[in-house]
Amino acid sequence: MDKIATCLWFDGNAEEAVRFYTGVFKNSSIGDVTHYGDAVPSKAGEVLTITFQLEGREFVALNGGPQYTFSPAISLFVKCETQEEVDTLWDKLLEGGGSPVQCGWLTDRYGVSWQIVPTAMMKFLTDKNPARVKRAMEAMMQMVKLDIKKLEAAYMQE
């Protein structure tokens, strides 16, 4: 178990969300499930938390109620090696009512923000040549889902 885990606050649909996320990522699992007890009589027996792992990272899903909702101020950043991985994760996370945003960002059906980013993009943005970085950034700013070939073409352009 990780010393620090990300807790995601849901309004009664944590179980559904965890099943969805563990179905999207190949290397995932569901761990412990806790339930509300008699201390909260109106929710006694309902799921309180579920621990789960996605790609080796630990998360906790909490059925906390409607007081808080997700915001793009916090997002889950997914590093993808290939365009196929970008495409697959993008499509799966949008299933059931998600919304594409811009620059590799999307919001899934639960309101969680994700960044689906090719690892090549990080190489492009850390290049010592500012002209290459600028071209890659400008190309990315024109995209919704990131396209590695188009990003690389912009980056390599002379």
Question: Cα 59–62–67 angle (5° rounding)?
Answer: 130
* Domain architecture of the chain: domains with CATH: 1-68 (3.10.180.10), 70-158 (3.10.180.10)
pLDDT digits (tens, 9 = 90+) for 72-131: 999 999 999 999 999 999 999 999 999 999 999 999 999 999 999 999 999 999 999 999
d(CA 6, CA 63): 14
The pTM for the full model equals: 0.93
- Answer whether 52's CB lies under 8 Å from 84's CB: no
Starting at the edge strand found earlier in the chain, the sheet holding 113-118 runs 75-80, 113-118, 105-107, 99-100
Mean pLDDT of 139-145: 98
Asked if 138 contacts 45 with a C-beta cutoff of 8 angstroms, the reply is no
Residue 20 CB-density burial (10 A; 0-12 exposed, 13-18 middle, 19+ buried): middle
CA-based angle 25:27:29, to the nearest 5? 90
pLDDT of amino acid 42: 84
**Residue 142 pLDDT > 80:** yes
For 18-32, what is each residue's pLDDT tens digit? 999 999 999 999 999
Can you give the pLDDT at residue 2? 80
